[in-house]
Amino acid sequence: MNTGLAFPSFDEIENLEQKAARYRINSEKTVPVTGPPGTGKSTVISHCCFDLLKDDYFPILITAPTNVMIDSILSKIDFLLQRMKIQLPRGFVIRYGNVANLNRTYSHLSKYTFDNIVEDYCSSCYSNGYNDFYNKISIAKDFFQNARIILTTDYSAKDLGNIIEVGAVIVDEAGLVGLDRMGMLFSSLRDHNGKIIVIGDDKQLPPVSHDYIAESLFNRILGHFPTTLLKREYRFNKDILDLINPYYDFKLEADFSVVNISTADIAQKSYGGIDNNLCRILKHEKNVVFVDTNGIYKEEKHFTNKGEVAIVKEIVDGCLSMGIKDIIVTTPYKQQERLCNFYLQKGIRIGTIDEFQGQEAEVTIISMVRSNNKQNYKEAIGFVNIPRSCVAFSRSKRKTIIVGDENTLIRNEFLSKSIDTITRKDGFLIWNT
Amino acid sequence: MTNNNFDPYPNNSANINMSNNNVRNVNSCTNTFVFNSSNTNISSIDNNHNGIDNGYTLTSKDIIRQINPVVIPRISAIANMAFCERATYNISFFGMESDNFTADGVIGNAIHRIILRSLMEITQSIKNNSNTITSSHFVTKRSKAKEIFIRNAKRDTRINWKHFMISNIENPLPSILDDLEIRADRLIDQIFTEEEENKTILFRPEFTIRNTKIPLEGRLDLLKIKLKKKEREERLSRYRQNQYLNSYVSADDLVNLEKESVEIVQIKTGNYQPRTAVWNLQADAEVLLLMRTLNLKEPPKYTWQFADKDGNRKKFDFAKVLETIDKYVQIWRSKISPQITGFCPKCPLRDGCLNWAFVSNNTLSENERIKRNIEFRLSKRIREEVSLDDRWKVYVVLQSPEQRQREGSAITNLYIDTSSVDLDKRKLILIGDDYFDRFLDFSIGEHVIISDGNPNLGSNPNAVIREINIDRKSISLEFYRDDLYYLIYDNRDKASLTIDRFNFSSGLTSMKFLDSFFRCSSYADDIVLKKKNVSQERNNADVSMRVIT
């Protein structure tokens, strides 16, 4: 394995905060980086892992809570390598674990998957007359022990404890990683000089386990170490940013490259239908829209709202007719997700808000479900808290459409403020039946 | 169904009846628990986690908790705790891994897989009169059968190379072949001696029983069911008439079939060794569980199959099993930390419970005692939380497959696309019916269990969903444990199948790690302190409220 590769610097594509984060990663042992949605967390990871390699912190274990997230980081690393025309030896970067998503979404990256690396090597041995398959195990182990960058989910990382010790651990979306998993990752470090880099957003959703002892270790680390906040976001336009900015104390700013983006840039045509509701909702200049069901469609058993599903379906059809295909439909409730799956066109990404943390789309449609007359706001709104709303609002690049009952939702202070913000931007619409 | 009369909301007011008139009443510190083996009352955990409310939001766990699922420990856990109460506080009590990983386990599992698969292949060949085995010459037959064992051993090491690699075993084949060298000859002799009989014996590998009537979960390595003469002749005549199609008997139907004899075979790695008391109790619990599940009047034959010879369990002590279950429930429901001190000098479990060492309460300061109680409750909470997830598989049996499909947690009426079966890559495709796309809650990468419709009973392999094609109404599966072959012997591939969500391995890992991490880490103190402060604040608030009112 060639370990003496020289990696060029990638300074030209970084902003000030990203540079600061990189500087700290190079000089400190434990570095927390806070990155709100779309602020380039994956970019920082992909860049700094090459810095760490230069400083002999290898192998580097890069983890994230889901395969989708880890595949996204791998694509960034590959992008850098392609841009710099760097050819790495086989097995230098290894993607370990469930690669179903990778094979589907980034099929060109399957060369990095562990199985493919080992199988390719064994096939080449086989074709050269070397046919001792028992050695496949030691070959595979060698690949692991000589790898420089290993990408896997924090769950799959547990498999590797017996065979490798790492020089640096980078944990993406660390806010989602529970205390136990995080501890497991840290224990894979070779020695006390190893680097720990945790990147996430403490304002987004906590670990899935609600047990308080499984609270995010990320929050604890943030309390003990100075944090670098990535505040320039590269995902969504200014209107969407304004929806979530209060939550980040107005520290975030949209990069000039995205500040004015809208559906006009990607739609093949404007909405040509006759539905008055859709004409208003799908206007290119409306980047944030609240569709008020006006209490007509009440929530039903198991937190479902069929009326909202019908509205969402019409909006989705409208978007598709405009040629906008990259759409996320999300909702806080599993049963509502099931209903959407049942009624909406196949091929649209549908899921609960929690599932979509870390993902993005051109347009997001959110069905808020709750519509009731309950006085207690907790009973009225349920578990749609600030982090969950924040995740939901920040998935889209160009347009966020929220479908819900204003009278119910305004009982939550954050949602009430968000609806006010949308109203100020002329995005508040009442659905006419 | 095993749980026709299952009541998900049992009352808490019955007694424990046992066949030997040994009646016990169990009183825990807070609740009176009731386990009545003659009716359907079952244990459920106490779900009032007082004092740990920190404003968390509603999650799937909360929903499962509201459903009030049943906690069913594994048989091995029950057997362990019968001999050491401290084991009850160990994670292994719930059938989860608690010891450090050893290579022996991996090799043993491989031998297990190879034996079962080879046995199934050989008997299947005999049943089908296939060329693989049949030969007029006994020596030829014998050598062909032995080849199957060796071929499967090589195949297993080739296919499961990744398992061996992450276990740090570089060359597993010699160890596996050592065991098989002795065992294969012996098994082949048995199979050919009973050749004609084998044609009508029903084999069920890895037969899982989760029974809520006796709150235990068991996994039997191999179940051999010999049918009564009438039933047998009927089946033989079907073979002769070449009506082999649809001859598969589903796990639920096994209950009503007229059975002449049943044998449980538990495969043990290595040569013969004397059975321990734990093994005996485990065997008794397994026999009792199977008797209740399959409506057997007599205890089935119980065989430990070592590499060199078999061992049999002849006398069964069912009273001890029931007493142990009773004890489990009592401990499970208790809310105070155990008064266990030191280690037993002659511990039958050896290192089984060393993780739970307690010093005497008398030697502790007040603060230390508080800390211990908090730690105990916290650890108990961890075990409860994870076991709730773990018991999802128990929860699913409460509804019919069709009902589960309607709710999105299962897909039923699936048939194997036989042309898609790839044994080497461990993949196959299931084709659904018109209602296929009614499923709403499955996605690629998810773990599923494949069954006749009851995931808690039968030989049900696990797989990962690799592709879902709505247009073709198909779902592509990859079997990570190499147990695909359960679905293709005895013409099971013609039977209707159901898949249910099944993913508890993450729970096991988290729990194991969390439990030890909690007790070893400096964070534990922080957490305990936090918990203490929260409790203190709450108490203060309560006092203030009382004063005001």
CA distances (Å), B268 to each of B96, B274, B310, B344, in order? 19, 12, 10, 28
Of A57-66, A338-347, B187-196, B496-505, the one with minimum mean pLDDT is: B496-505
A-chain residues within 8 Å CB-CB of B161? 118, 133, 136-137, 140
Place B336 in a pLDDT band, splitting at 50, 70 and 90.
Answer: low
Using the predicted structure, report yes or no on whether residue B63 has a pLDDT greater than 50: no
Using the predicted structure, report yes or no on whether residue B496 has a pLDDT greater than 80: yes
CB contact under 8 A, B164 and A138: no
Across the interface, of A101, A136, A341, the residue whose CB is closest to B161 is A136
Please report the pLDDT score of residue B8 as a whole number. 26
CB contact under 8 A, B385 and A211: yes
Please report the pLDDT score of residue B151 as a whole number. 93
Place B14 in a pLDDT band, splitting at 50, 70 and 90.
Answer: very low
Q: Distance from B55 to chain A by nearest Cα, in Å?
A: 9
Q: Name the more confident of B467 and A110.
A: A110
Place B549 in a pLDDT band, splitting at 50, 70 and 90.
Answer: low
Q: Using one digit for the tens of pLDDT, what is the confidence trace for B399-449?
A: 788 887 877 778 899 999 999 999 888 899 999 988 776 655 677 777 888
Tell me if the pTM is above 0.90: no
Mean pLDDT of B240-262: 76
Tokens at A384, concatenated: 């749609």
CB of B100 within 8 Å of a chain A CB? The answer is: no
Nearest CA in chain B to A349: B443
Q: Distance from A87 to chain B by nearest Cα, in Å?
A: 27
Tokens at B111, concatenated: 């031998």
CB of B170 within 8 Å of a chain A CB? The answer is: yes
Across the interface, of B158, B165, B530, the residue whose CB is closest to A140 is B165
**How is residue B276 annotated by DSSP?**
P
Q: Using one digit for the tens of pLDDT, what is the confidence trace for B270-286?
A: 899 998 888 999 999 99
Exposed / middle / buried, residue A404 (Cβ in 10 Å: 0-12, 13-18, 19+)? buried
A-chain residues within 8 Å CB-CB of B480? none
Q: What is the mean pLDDT of chain B?
A: 71
Q: DSSP secondary structure string, B448-504?
A: EEEESS-TTEE---EEEEEEEETTTTEEEEE-TTS-GGGGTSTTGGGS-EEEEE---
What b-and-e string marks burial along A142-152, b requiring 16 or more CB atoms within 10 Å of the CB?
Answer: ebbebbbbbbb
CA distance A196 to A211: 24
CA distance A384 to A187: 35
Q: Is the peptide bond before A59 cis (omega within 30 degrees of 0)?
A: yes
CB of B473 within 8 Å of a chain A CB? The answer is: no
Please report the pLDDT score of residue B359 as a whole number. 59
CB of B513 within 8 Å of a chain A CB? The answer is: yes
Mean pLDDT of B142-150: 90
CB contact under 8 A, A137 and B382: no
Q: Distance from A210 to chain B by nearest Cα, in Å?
A: 6
CB of B488 within 8 Å of a chain A CB? The answer is: no
Q: DSSP secondary structure string, B95-162?
A: T---SPP-HHHHHHHHHHHHHHHHHHHHHHHHHHT-TTT--SSHHHHHHHHHHHHHHHHHHHHHHTHH
ipTM comes to: 0.72
Q: Are A289 and A318 within 8 A, CB to CB?
A: no
B-chain residues within 8 Å CB-CB of A212? 52, 54, 56, 527, 530-531
Across the interface, of A137, A141, A179, the residue whose CB is closest to B523 is A179
Q: DSSP secondary structure string, B166-187?
A: HTT-S--HHHHHHHHHHHHHHH
Candidates A357, A372, A288; CA nearest to A66 is: A357
> Where do runs of H (alpha helix) occur along A225-275?
238-244
CA distance A43 to A378: 38
B-chain residues within 8 Å CB-CB of A138? 170-171
Of A351-355, B49-53, B245-249, B253-257, the one with minimum mean pLDDT is: B49-53
Candidates B264, B319, B267; CA nearest to B286 is: B264
Q: What is the H or E stretch that residue A198 is in?
A: strand A195-200
B-chain residues within 8 Å CB-CB of A136? 158, 161
Rounded mean pLDDT for each run of 10 residues along chain A, 433 residues in total: 49 72 86 87 87 88 90 91 86 90 87 91 74 73 91 86 88 82 81 86 69 60 84 90 89 89 90 87 93 89 88 93 92 87 82 84 94 82 84 92 93 89 92 83
